[in-house]
């Protein structure tokens, strides 16, 4: 596996993880009592 492909794969993985974290944080904040 070429290094460039490996780093690209890791970058996309980190992007997905960050996106999931942001969504879960938003859901937690949104479902907190007093916000709806």
pLDDT of residue 36: 53
Cα separation, 11 vs 13, whole angstroms: 5
As a dihedral over the C-alpha atoms of residue 19, residue 21, residue 24, residue 29, rounded to 10 degrees, the angle is: -110
Per DSSP, 23 falls in state H
As a residue count, the chain comes to 36
pLDDT of residue 35: 61
Q: What is the pLDDT of residues 18-28, one digit of tens each?
A: 999 999 998 88
The answer, yes or no, to whether residue 33 has pLDDT greater than 60, is yes
Question: pTM for the whole thing?
Answer: 0.57
| 14 vs 1, more confident | 14
The answer, yes or no, to whether residue 34 has pLDDT greater than 80, is no
């Amino acid at each position: 596996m070429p290094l460039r492909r490996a780093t690209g794969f890791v970058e996309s993985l980190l992007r997905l993880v960050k996106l999931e974290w942001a969504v879960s944080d938003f859901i937690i904040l949104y479902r907190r009592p007093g916000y709806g």
